[in-house]
Amino acid sequence: MSEVLMSRLSWPEYARRIAGGAVVFLPVGALEQHGPHLPLGVDAMLSTDVAVGVAQRVGGVVAAPLNYGYKSQARCGGGQCFPGTTSLDAQTLISFVQDVIRELVRHGARNIVLVDGHYENQWFLTEACELAWRELGASTPELRCMRTEYWDFCGIDVLDPMFPGGFPGFALEHAALIETSMMLHLHPELVDLSLLPDDGPAEFPVYDMFPQTGHGVPPSGVLSSARGAKAEYGAVIFETVCKGLAAAVGEAFKAG
């Protein structure tokens, strides 16, 4: 399989691929606690893995990932109260992504996919795309940007058999079965199943309080049980996501 990581390509090879119309994927994650059994960089790792998997299918290029994301929120990431969680302000994230889009367009890229691996990022990535189009659309009307959260390509028909107690929803799946299974499949050396907590599922009120106190967040930071996570599940989820996103990219950026 040919190299797809932009950081590992020479500039002439990168230029050749861009001139050929390659889709450019920008993985965006976060540096955020993922319980005692997973590393802090899960979100960026998994979004990059998915971007690579899809780029290999469609002949794309994967830009260097953004390893920082918007502030962790208690009800979907455990919040800002854990050591290691290192977050950006909204405007910083928006400006960073807008800058990268501008540079990719300057290189000649016209089809760009933002692959989000951090729940809290989504609206700020949307804003970055909107602002980039406002700035560049008149001079580059053929520019198209897609923003997606990779997990949306894994439907309940795939997940149901993995959750005999019922799927808790993606917001509570932080550091739980899906991410743990994917990490077991893709980065098993970084998973310590001996440290799996028994916390969760977390129960939160339907509102947020500031300043954040961590109220309602399990001590481990894991919002739903990761018990039952398997590398085999991770392989199925990864393949399903890559196949679905590759099809979506083919449809969204098809000629004409």
Let me know if 89 is a catalytic residue: no
Set 120, 127, 149, 199: catalytic member:
120
Set 116, 179, 185, 199: catalytic member:
179
Let me know if 179 is a catalytic residue: yes
Let me know if 203 is a catalytic residue: no
**Are 157 and 125 a contacting pair, CB within 8 Å?**
no
**Are 45 and 191 a contacting pair, CB within 8 Å?**
no
Set 116, 174, 185, 199: catalytic member:
174
Set 32, 49, 116, 173: catalytic member:
32
Let me know if 130 is a catalytic residue: no
- Choose among 32, 75, 22: nearest CA to 203: 75
Task: Return d(Cα 195, Cα 49) in angstroms, integer.
Answer: 24
Residue appearing with tokens 């951090």: 118
Set 34, 49, 116, 127: catalytic member:
34
Set 118, 149, 173, 199: catalytic member:
118
Rg (alpha carbons) of the chain, rounded to whole number = 18
Let me know if 118 is a catalytic residue: yes
C-alpha pair distances (Å), 31 with each of 18, 82, 95, 213:
30, 11, 18, 19
List, by residue number, the catalytic residues. Answer: 32, 34, 43, 118, 120, 174, 179
